[in-house]
Amino acid sequence: MNKRLKVFAVCITAVVLAGCSGQNAPPQKGTPAFYLLAANETYVAGDYVKTVDHLRMIVNTDNEYKDKALPWLLVMTSGLASGYADLAESYEAGARVRKADPAPFRKNMSTYRTLAARYSLQFAEAFETFQKTAKETVPLEFKYPVGNPARPPLLTKIMMGAYLQGVEPSTAEKHAVERGVLLRTCDAVGAPNDAAKTQEMLKAGGAQVPRDTFLMAMAEALYEHSQLYIRRKMDQPDKLKILCGRAGDVLKQLPESKERKELLSKIQATLKENKV
């Protein structure tokens, strides 16, 4: 009898422990919940490239996390594109200063411009998906990003034609990307270049942003990324036309404003200048 009771007690304990462990078990690998957890971990760690990879896995399918992941993905891909484009511009300026030996600067310029183009196209693809949604507010459910809104000193050093040494190249890249994501986050919440206000809005771990505010930020981003494809840079008129066209389509959805009018003028001027 005692032996039976002991066996019964062991079984009950096992069932209880299994239930508890199930409650605390991490999301199953390969599920949207798993990728969302991974995105948060890599984001906090400052690995924005991995964060984008994880978020893309979520938005590739219809699931309960897609509506939250999609705006975050737009901010991240646009921020990465901006950061890499800034690096490319810096190295291009450095090459003009280093006329005697511009090759190292031009090589880095080409590398970073290619990366910027990659993320600009990922951004445009994700935005096309976002346009199919119709909610009045946009959830930005992520923490305030690290970084400094001021231009990284190492980028200024590059522009002056200085050769970076040791860990300086990787540090310059890290700071440029962080700044790109931070500034794009400021735009997305409706506080351009205002890091303090953005931090306040995201202090609870996220914010709900009016759709028109978010769309204006996305239109600005589409136009900014279109500049990668102008004649004197990558000279890809088809992509220039697509990005400018999408930015213009977004503006048609928005009410009249000074910002809308100014951006529309920039788009028209760019298309005219590049004969697109």
Q: Is the pLDDT of residue 22 over 90?
A: no
CA 121 to chain centre: 12
Q: What percentage of the chain exceeds 90 in pLDDT?
A: 88
Give the integer Cα–Cα distance in Å for 133 and 118: 24
The pLDDT of residue 205: 85
Give the integer Cα–Cα distance in Å for 164 and 175: 14
137: part of which helix (H) or strand (E)?
A: strand 137-140
User: pLDDT band for position 138 (50/70/90)?
Assistant: very high
Q: Rounded mean pLDDT of 133-158? A: 95
Q: Rounded mean pLDDT of 241-265? A: 97
The pLDDT of residue 151: 95
pTM: 0.90
Give the integer Cα–Cα distance in Å for 187 and 11: 57
Q: Rounded mean pLDDT of 49-68? A: 97
For residue 148, report the phi and psi dihedrals to the nearest 5 degrees: -125, 130
* Dihedral sign of CA atoms 188, 189, 190, 192 in order: negative
> Which residues, listed in sequence order, are joined to residue 207 by a DSSP beta bridge?
140
Give the integer Cα–Cα distance in Å for 199 and 205: 10
How far, in Å, are 9, 59, 70, 73, 122 from residue 127 at the CA level? 57, 11, 8, 9, 9
Q: Is the pLDDT of residue 13 over 50?
A: no
